[in-house]
Amino acid sequence: MVRVYQSWLLDFLLSSLRDGSSSIQSRKLSITGHGYSLRDIQGAITVGVMVDVLQLWDILSDVVLQPEREDKHIWRFSSSGQYSAKAAYEGFFLGATLFAPWERIWKTWAPPKCRFFMWLVAHNKCWTSDRLARRGLPCPDGCPLCDQEQETINHLLVQCVFAREFWFILLRQVGLQALSPQPTENSFLDWWERASNATSSLVRQGVNSLIILGAWILWNHRNRCVFDGAAPSVAGALVVAGEERRLWTTAGARGLSLLSAHLPGD
């Protein structure tokens, strides 16, 4: 006969089987050649308790206890069963919703402020007219760049005629004008994803950097029109984009420099 005292396995299974309505405590589990016997069960021995005991017997019927071996902790969030800080961290994200454009935003070469701006765009957190109006704040009546529709972040970056002309000329400079947004586009993130996937892996990083740069230029040009009273100018925005592109290339945007290598006059 092998007797195991303070069986943590038994305590765990008992607590799993009961919902707390019955006061059941086990301190001993005796295993003999003729079967099982539970001792020191406290509380009313009801039909429900006996059913639980029988279920517990079935669960433990194939368990072979080895008292000479120490208990082993198994971390179920890792394939090896070993605990690690990485496995614990990844466990926090079980069941989380994947943020689709995260890699294009955070893995693309661009200044941190520009990548943070893209994160705001992806979450629709930019202070465009529609968002200001919902909060009762002063805002332009229409898009500051085209004055044809109410301003939203998607309108500003892909739907606006100003933005579409800007993207066409900017992408044409690197021979990728076929990727420019079409009049049917209504989502900047969807267009960005399609444009990125349409390129080879060799130039994808450069295209992603160029799109972040272009969106940043459009946002700043819009702000100059709103706050400084500047007149919308596609030519002026493209001049600033060219200067910014050269600065990014000098700072280490390797993918962008690959695109820039084919620019006429560079």
Residues 42 and 25 sit within 8 Å (Cβ to Cβ): yes
pLDDT for 254: 87
132 pLDDT above the threshold of 80:
yes
Q: What is the pTM of this model?
A: 0.67
Return the structure tokens found at 18: 């009961």
pLDDT for 23: 40
Distance in angstroms (rounded) separating the CA atoms of residues 37 and 45? 14
Tell me what percent of the residues of the chain surpass a pLDDT of 90: 53
pLDDT for 195: 95
Distance in angstroms (rounded) separating the CA atoms of residues 72 and 81? 10
Element (H, E) at 38: strand 35-39
40 pLDDT above the threshold of 80:
no
When pLDDT is cut at 50, 70 and 90, the band that residue 38 belongs to is: low
Contacts of 232 (CB under 8 A, 6+ apart): 144, 145, 146, 162, 221, 225
Distance in angstroms (rounded) separating the CA atoms of residues 231 and 21? 74
146 pLDDT above the threshold of 50:
yes
Q: What is the mean pLDDT of the chain?
A: 82
Integer CA distances (angstroms), 148 to 40, 151, 159, 162, in order: 81, 9, 11, 11
Distance in angstroms (rounded) separating the CA atoms of residues 114 and 215? 9
Burial (CB count within 10 angstroms: exposed 0-12, middle 13-18, buried 19+), residue 17: middle
258 pLDDT above the threshold of 50:
yes
Q: What is the mean pLDDT of residues 222-247?
A: 95
Residues 129 and 140 sit within 8 Å (Cβ to Cβ): yes
- Total Cβ atoms within 10 A of residue 125: 12
Element (H, E) at 31: strand 28-32
Contacts of 176 (CB under 8 A, 6+ apart): 199, 207, 259
pLDDT for 261: 55
215 pLDDT above the threshold of 70:
yes
pLDDT for 104: 94
Q: What is the mean pLDDT of residues 168-183?
A: 94
Task: For the chain, give every domain's residue range.
Answer: 2-70, 102-260
Phi-psi region of 25 (alpha: psi -120 to 50; beta: other; left: phi over 0): beta
24 pLDDT above the threshold of 80:
no
Q: What is the mean pLDDT of residues 237-251?
A: 95
184 versus 262: the higher-pLDDT residue is 184
Q: What is the mean pLDDT of residues 181-205?
A: 92
Tell me what percent of the residues of the chain surpass a pLDDT of 70: 81
72 versus 4: the higher-pLDDT residue is 72
pLDDT for 10: 53
Q: What is the mean pLDDT of residues 91-120?
A: 91
